[in-house]
Homo-oligomer: A and B are copies of this chain.
Amino acid sequence: MIPTPISRIPVAVLGATGAVGQKFLALLVDHPWFEVAAVAASERSVGMRYGDRVQWREPTSLPAAIAALTIQPAAPPLPAGIVFSALDADIAGSIEQAFAAAGAIVVSNARNHRMDPDIPLIVPEINADHLDLLSRQRANRPWSGAIVANPNCSTAGLALVLGCLHRRWPVDRVFVSTMQAVSGAGYPGVPSLDILDNVIPYIAGEEEKIERETRKILGRLVDGQVHAPELTLSAHANRVPVLDGHTEAVSIGFTEPPGVDAVHEALSDFPDQWGVAELPSSPNPPIVVDPRPDRPQPRLDRTQGQGMSVTVGRIRPCPLLDIRLTLVVHNTVRGAAGLAIQDAELLVARGLIP
């Protein structure tokens, strides 16, 4: 049983005017544990009222309390114990370090620190134990705070599914071809002239991230170090004319292959190994298995579990590896802001927030 914090914990959002920043705020409204105490953005926005500056694009309306906040600089101190970073990668690195040095717990959606050996890269249902890296991090680094990262959007969905299977039947080979939504590129992001009636078979850096980050998440923590599994991934990343929800066609090879039914059952009945099912943002179930022949589909399935469940379908034998399936993950919820919030909840539940 996870204890509920007595009073709501003040949190800040860095990069609050961007697409991911807005998604953070939309998800934090009425959060049972967290309260948005500060929003930060770039120089030219500092000092303005958030509601006057932001071009709010979420379907839910901007809450008055957040609209009334004055935009702060993205630098410590901010009146918040947890700092969510929705910063662009070109500036995120040093800013996040500065906050950690100032004692803040940073949960970052940026790619900068994901592969650092002492930074936990967390999907709670899979590797909540990797939070133990924090003691090594604090020993290594000149800070009393911490940085925790969440993986890239395609990886978030893939690692949840693979991680669930890998526990029981080690996975050693994976082929994945993604069909990614335009919201993954932020705003303004993908020009309509590029994507209407089209597919773009390239997303800079994406394939490498999927191949690298998945291995870290599935790794075993031994003596304060993550040991990646014997696992080879090959990713093809594609952009398609879809607003939200990444679709991934996946073939999986195992060292000792289970049958289709066993895979179906393992995914449907995902055991809560790390006691994270009661976190406020944890979906129940984490993975929805849909037996219909033409599912999952991003428009119809992206909002399963308020966007935090991954939907899997078309589980069938693979002529080349062992099992084929398709998954859909909501790229800005489970794949970004929602996952970072779930990570922060995990930190709270583990008593890692000062």
Contact = CB atoms under 8 A, between A and B. Distances in A.
A89 interface: no
Contacts of A318: 234
Interface string A288-300: 0000011111111
B241 A197 contact: yes
Contacts of A193: 19, 57, 182-183, 187-190, 243
Interface residues of A, number: 57
Interface in A69-91: none
22 contacts: A59-B300, A175-B175, A175-B234, A179-B240, A182-B196, A187-B191, A187-B193, A188-B188, A189-B191, A192-B195, A197-B241, A197-B242, A197-B243, A198-B242, A199-B240, A199-B247, A201-B294, A202-B293, A232-B319, A234-B320, A238-B247, A241-B241
B200 A192 contact: no
A234 B321 contact: yes
A326 B201 contact: yes
A304 to B, nearest CB: 9
Interface in A211-253: 211, 232-234, 236, 238, 240-243, 247, 249, 251
A112 B156 CA distance: 43
B249 A238 contact: yes
A200 B192 CA distance: 13
Sorted nearest first, the 8 A-B pairs with minimum C-beta distance are A177-B177, A236-B249, A188-B191, A234-B320, A202-B294, A198-B299, A201-B326, A192-B192
Contacts of A194: 188, 192
Interface in A96-110: none
Contacts of A195: 192, 196
A198 B300 contact: yes
A127 interface: no
B196 A234 contact: no
Nearest to A300: B59
A31 interface: no
Interface in A4-31: 19
Residue among A175, A183, A200, A243 with most chain B CB within 10 A: A175
A313 interface: yes
Given A179-B240, A240-B241, A319 B189 contact: no
A347 B136 CA distance: 69
Given A189-B191, A233-B319, 16 more contacts: A177-B249, A182-B196, A190-B192, A193-B243, A197-B197, A197-B241, A197-B298, A198-B242, A198-B300, A200-B297, A201-B247, A201-B326, A204-B293, A234-B251, A234-B318, A234-B324
Contacts of A296: 201
A264 interface: no
B251 A200 contact: no
B238 A201 contact: no
Contacts of A320: 173-175, 232-234
Given A191-B192, A234-B251, A314 B202 contact: yes
A303 interface: yes
